[in-house]
Structure 1
Amino acid sequence: MNKTHQLERDALGNLIFIDAVGERHVGVYPVRAFPITAPSAGIGIMNQSGKEVCWFPDVALIPESELTLIKEELAAREFMPVIERITQVSTFATPSIWDIETDRGPTRIRLKGEEDIRRIAGNTLLIADSNGLQFMIKDSTKLDKVSKKLLDRFR
């Protein structure tokens, strides 16, 4: 980040971006350009109207103190549990109930249809449950044997 810019958090927890001319943009938020396929490729800082006030082409270019603030904000905004195991499915027809283990703990999801399983890039899959939550499988080839067999019945 250019030394004339500054990112900080106020007493209420809002992110504030101070631009080169000293204008304070209160309540800004970071947005990844490619959150799944290239999460460190670029991050925009957006104002409350959705207008970009700053662009970082590479996460490595962001000073550590500001990167910490950005990561905190992204963690609060980006909720996409990663499926680590599929332990059981209620039926091989849809709709079906899946018992899964994620990086955030075990849960149960309802799959409405096979179209709710989407390949994003390579072996990365996004699975949308009936409530609209998105779950990710980072690499379907690295799942355990049981999980692969259950998943293959739906693709």
Structure 2
Amino acid sequence: MSAPLNVNFSLERNAFGQLVLIDANGIRHEGVTPVRANPISAPLEGIALMSTEGHEVAWIELLAWVPAPLRALIEEELSTREFMPEIQRLNKVSSFATPSTWEVETDRGTASFVLKGEEDIRRLPGGILLIADAHGIQFMIRQLSALDRHSRKLLDRFL
């Protein structure tokens, strides 16, 4: 899936650790922030590099087309900004009435959170579920069918 991409900018970090984009005209844009257009459904497609004023200074159609050194900087910056653990298993639910405490295994380790109400579970296209805990942290279940039987049984009580 490699296609030629005419990258007309370069990226580096300044002394404060911020991303700096140098455009084709040599203009430095300090503190740029990568923003995904579709962070859940297409995380590797459509990434804007935004200035501190909120203006798009570069657009990346497909991250795979960006040269590896630039891609590494963008991915590193995205990982520091985005925190959405992906639930891989539900171990225990304190109650089938809300609020309830959930104990789960995620791609980032074991977690425990409080689900305030069933309305905090949102269905997205493609079978994706977003679950917001009492503190506003979003947990994701990318594919319901990939969960084990016990996890699906617990989750079914809330859907």
TM range (shorter): over 0.9
SS at match of 1:38: coil
Q: Give 5+ residue unaligned stretches, structure 1.
A: none
1:30 counterpart residue number: 34
Taking the TM superposition and a 5 Å limit, the aligned residue runs for 1:6-17 are: 6-17=10-21
Please give the TM-score of this superposition, normalised by the length of structure 2: 0.93
Equivalent AA in structure 2 for residue 37 of structure 1: S
Matches of 2:27 and 2:9 in 1, distance apart? 10
Report % sequence identity. 55
1:7 deviates by: 1.1
Please give the TM-score of this superposition, normalised by the length of structure 1: 0.96
Matches of 1:88 and 1:4 in 2, distance apart? 51
Deviations 1:63-117 (A, max 9, x none): 1110000000001011000101111111111111111111111111100110111
1:22 deviates by: 1.1
SS at match of 2:84: coil
1:152 counterpart residue number: 156
Please, which moves more after superposition, 2-11 or 72-81?
2-11
How many correspondences in the alignment? 155
Deviation beyond 2 Å, 4+ runs, structure 1: 1-4
1:57 deviates by: 1.1
1:41 counterpart residue number: 45
Matches of 1:72 and 1:51 in 2, distance apart? 21
SS at match of 1:27: strand
Alignment RMSD: 1.1
1:68 counterpart residue number: 72
Aligned with 2:141 (options 126, 131, 137):
137
1:111 counterpart residue number: 115
**Residue 93 (structure 2) pairs with residue 89 (structure 1):** yes
1:11 deviates by: 2.6
